[in-house]
Amino acid sequence: MGAYREYFAFGAGLTLDKRIERGPIAASIDWRRRRYHDSMARPTNSLRNGDEIALRLGVEREITPWLAVSAGFGYTRFLAPEAYNAHAKWSVSAGLLLTHDLFRLVPGRAAALSLSAALLFSGYGEANANIDPDVVRHDREWRPSATLDVPVIDDISLVGQFGANLRASTLPNYRYSNVYTMIGVALRF
């Protein structure tokens, strides 16, 4: 899009963590304001303006010294002036964190494999007459991922990630499958 700025967003959040017997529990609330800019290419872009409020709750439990499980629940509400852009989103997630000496390159530091999945359900306020006046948009999205972190020296690790965003929607234009991979370096300080 060149130098064109489609939108900007700013916000604030608060997270409360509490350590319980074998793992933490966390609750968070976030607020974000999105402001879209109209342009020659998108003259009605500002109809997507709105405020987002998100609530999340997550728990993690250490099963063994090398295995932890996690679960999460979330609710997000996007408040928009146009009802067809306003929506509510529910999410549930689960994860496994495995640490193992199998890839140990640094004494005292084990490799970590994180497997996670999230399922999201979105429902919009009303049908968008510009897209399909008879169908209200509802989305279901599946997000599986795997991340491997292998320490190579004291404070540096190689990180690899593979995942997907798979969305089904009542509106065909909003269905998609996106598979991604990433390889990088992580520095701890």
Per-residue model confidence as pLDDT tens digits over 144-180? 999 999 988 878 999 999 999 999 999 998 999 999 9
Distance CA 64, CA 42 (A): 53
* 25, 17 contact by CB (below 8 A): yes
Percent residues over pLDDT 90 in the chain: 66
At residue 185, the pLDDT reads 94
Length of the chain: 189
Task: Please state whether the predicted TM-score (pTM) of the whole model is above 0.85.
Answer: no
Decide if pLDDT at 22 tops 50.
Answer: yes
At residue 107, the pLDDT reads 74
Q: Please give the average per-residue pLDDT across 34-51, as a whole number.
A: 86
Query: Residue ranges per domain, the chain?
Result: 58-187
What is the per-residue DSSP string for the chain? -TT---EEEEEEEEEEEEEETTEEEEEEEEEEEEEE---SS-TTGGGG-EEEEEEEEEEEEEEETTEEEEEEEEEEEEE-SSTTT-EEEEEEEEEEEEEEGGG--BTTB-EEEEEEEEEEEEEESS--TTT-TT---EEEEEEEEEEEEEEEETTEEEEEEEEEEEEEESSGGG-EEEEEEEEEEEE--
Distance CA 104, CA 16 (A): 33
Decide if pLDDT at 16 tops 50.
Answer: yes
Mean pLDDT in the chain?
A: 91
Decide if pLDDT at 65 tops 90.
Answer: no
At residue 1, the pLDDT reads 46
Pairwise pLDDT comparison (143 vs 4), residue with the higher score: 143
Per-residue pLDDT of 74-122, as tens digits, reads: 999 999 988 999 999 999 999 999 998 766 667 778 889 999 999 999 9
Q: Please give the average per-residue pLDDT across 41-51, as a whole number.
A: 86
